[in-house]
Structure 1
Amino acid sequence: MVSTCPKRPGNPGVLILLTLPLLLLGAIKINCATLPDNSTDVLWLQAFRHEIISDPSGWFSSWNSSANHCLWPGVRCSRAHLGRVVALQLVGLNLAGQISSSIGNLTFLRTLNLSTNGFSGRLPPLNHLQKLQVLDLSVNQLQDSIPDAITNCSSLRIVDLAKNILVGEIPPKLSLLYNLSHLRLSRNKLTGIIPPTLGNITSIQRLVLSYNNLTGSIPDELGKLTNMRNVALGGNRLSGGFPRCLFNLSKSLQVLALESNMLSKQLPPNIGDALPNLQELFLNTNVFEGRIPASLGNVSGLGRIQLEINNLTGEIPSSLGKLSNMYVLNLRNNNLEAIDIQSWEFFSALTNCTSLEWLSLAENQLHGAIPNTIGNLSSILDYLYLGGNELSGTVPPSIGNLRNLTFLGLGNNNLTGTLEEWIGKLIKLKHLNLQMNSFIGPLSSFLGQLTHLIDLDLGNNKFEGPIPSNIGNLQQLSTLNLSSNNIQGDIPTQLGSITSLTHLDLSSNKLTGRIS
């Protein structure tokens, strides 16, 4: 046990505190010889408090000697061992300072949660905390590397150091934490490879290493983690093909997030059959090529598919229409094709996805008319983005059935016709982008009914006639682009009443008057 008593050197007039350096700068005088073992924890808490340089909420005002330390806010003591601290939880208090090394002397501590504060400096030495099960220091400003000594905390089940400024490599010795179920190191500045030794932590269920600077391939050893439910490795510089080793996790894996890396080659055709329990799949912003595996349609519980910003080609498989639980489908910015009736069959199939809230097929190679079945898409669809394709013809009036839309993007296509038949029905719209098409006719008076609009972009079309005076009803409007049309007449005075407007472009028209 670490001694709490000061020792005197040869000069009896000089007192050196070996274990509690500068404890309260001499303001607290302690006769350690008279303190029982179960009272020393209060000293370590006081030393911890002394390192806090900012306490804006006054949390520590009640941390004083007049009250039992087991009653201090954020402190919980053992029932079996009088006075011994088993939990210290100070979350979201905007505390600042360094985490005192005295924390490492709370040898009965099981939970240490100091997340969402402003602690800086190094991780404190915790190697004596062999009872510690939960370590959460996330969302702080901790620096330096992760010490190997953390592996002495052999009872750890949860380690969360996310959203700090930690550097260096992930210690391979973390594999010694055999009881670990959650390891979260995301959003730091960690470098190097993913240690293959992590494959030895067979109890782990959640591995989150995303948004660091990790390199290399995803190690095959992760395939040994058959209890894994969540793998999040996105936002790094990982390379290689899709990690087929994860197919060994077929019974457990629910969330797979590999987005924003440099992964390449084709997706395995049997991915859906090999991972039947997937609920969320993030493979976006990589360099994957080839077709979207039709087997994804066999994953009945799949709710979210994000494959945007890759080099995927071919047709969109109609089998995705079997995913009745799917609420997000994002295939934006690929080279996916639809050139005839057969290749558009997927769109009709998606009408079976009654949970769909977000659909983005923008920036692909979709040709021809928008299918009339667009109006049969999910009644709860909130976001629909078909911009940046080669769509032509008129917009089916049935689109007006999608009355819960808040975002509609049809820009950068070859669409024609007027808006009157459908635009006024989409009264929940906040963002409407129809730019770079060939829409004709007067600006619909129905625009004034879209009172929730924040962004309205109708630029580079063939609209004509005046700006409707009821555009003044759009009091939440921030961006308005009507440029490069054939709009005529006076600028309505009502436009000047929209105080939220920050971006206005009426150029390249035939307008007169002024905004007052």
Structure 2
Amino acid sequence: MVGSFPVDELKYLTNLELLDLRINRFNGSTPVQEVSALRKLNALDLSDNEFSSSTELQGICKMKNMQELDLSGNKLVVNNFNHFLPENIGWVLPHLEYMKLANNGFQGNLPSSMGNMKSISYLDISHNSFNGELPRSFVMGCYSIYSLTLSHNKLSGEVFQESANFTVIWDLSMENNMFTGKIGERLPDMKSLKRLDISNNNLMGVIPRWIGELPDLRELHVSNNSLESEIPISLFTIL
């Protein structure tokens, strides 16, 4: 479908729980403001369209029962897409379980309030321009997350040198950022990791022995960093 979505009709869909508009050619502003009036809505997918503006993104923060949110793939008009996530997004969407914001023009720091998303299990913010370090509240508070995709941003800082509470995570993608320092000493706490991608960063030091001791690890990507010394023999136990 092409053109703007007929938002005026949305107000009559008072029992709507899921709205899927993905893979169309809708343009103009996202219908977030109108959708926010649908109190029973818990899943919203606006991905892969041509929405040119999200100035009403604050409207999402009225959807307190929202569990699934996908705004990804509206990059054709990326220069006009709203740049920042609302600072209070984690406080007003505490029940969110799935959020995908990939391939847009988001920038700035990740809001510290995201640490209040205790139920989030899938988060993809890849292919944006988010910068700065991961908020401590986020790495400690989002303990239900199993898939985290941070790739292709401008995120920086050291990779989990301090405690992280991602105890059930199995897919961690951090490639193509600006992370520095050594490979994080807290990564061994993530016993469920099956896939780890920290390639294309500015990491230094050695590949630690404990990586080969992660019981379920199946994929490891560390290319294009400044790692040195020998490859630990324990690494080959995962083959």
TM-score by length of 2: 0.91
Residue of structure 2 in register with 1:298 after alignment: 116
Which one of 151, 167, 177 corresponds to residue 332 of structure 1? 151
Report the identity percentage: 29
Residue of structure 1 in register with 2:201 after alignment: 389
- State the distance in 1 between where 2:25 and 2:188 align: 44
Tell me: CA distance 1:329–1:221, structure 2 relative to 1, closer, same or farther (3 Å).
same
1:248 to 2:62 alignment: yes
Say what the alpha-carbon RMSD is for the aligned residues. 1.5
Contact 2:122 2:145 in 1 (8 A): yes
Offset from partner CA, 1:136-165 (integer Å, 9 cap, x none): xxxxxxxxxxxxxxxxxxxxxxxxxxxxxx
- State the distance in 2 between where 1:223 and 1:373 align: 39
State the aligned residue count: 230
Offset from partner CA, 1:418-469 (integer Å, 9 cap, x none): 123331222xxxxxxxxxxxxxxxxxxxxxxx2xxxxxxxxxxxxxxxxxxx
How far residue 372 of structure 1 moved from its aligned partner, in angstroms, is 2.5
- State the distance in 2 between where 1:386 and 1:298 align: 25
Which one of 143, 150, 162 corresponds to residue 348 of structure 1? 162
How far residue 347 of structure 1 moved from its aligned partner, in angstroms, is 5.0
Letter in 2 for 1:194: F
How far residue 211 of structure 1 moved from its aligned partner, in angstroms, is 1.1
Residue of structure 2 in register with 1:408 after alignment: 220
Offset from partner CA, 1:316-364 (integer Å, 9 cap, x none): 11222221211011110000111xxxxx3755333x2111011111100
Unaligned runs of 5+ in 2: none
Residue of structure 1 in register with 2:136 after alignment: 318
- State the distance in 1 between where 2:121 and 2:229 align: 35
Contact 1:241 1:266 in 2 (8 A): no
Which one of 411, 421, 433 corresponds to residue 233 of structure 2? 421
Which one of 237, 258, 264 corresponds to residue 50 of structure 2? 237
Structure with larger Rg: 1
Tell me: CA distance 1:279–1:384, structure 2 relative to 1, closer, same or farther (3 Å).
same
Instruction: Tell which has more relative contact order, 1 or 2 (C-alpha 8 A, sep 6+).
Output: 2
- State the distance in 2 between where 1:347 and 1:361 align: 15
Tell me: CA distance 1:408–1:416, structure 2 relative to 1, closer, same or farther (3 Å).
same
1:196 to 2:7 alignment: yes
Matches within 5 A, 1:25-36: none
Runs of 4+ in 1 over 4 A off after TM superposition: none
Contact 1:317 1:346 in 2 (8 A): no
How far residue 407 of structure 1 moved from its aligned partner, in angstroms, is 1.1
Residue of structure 2 in register with 1:368 after alignment: 181
How far residue 274 of structure 1 moved from its aligned partner, in angstroms, is 1.2
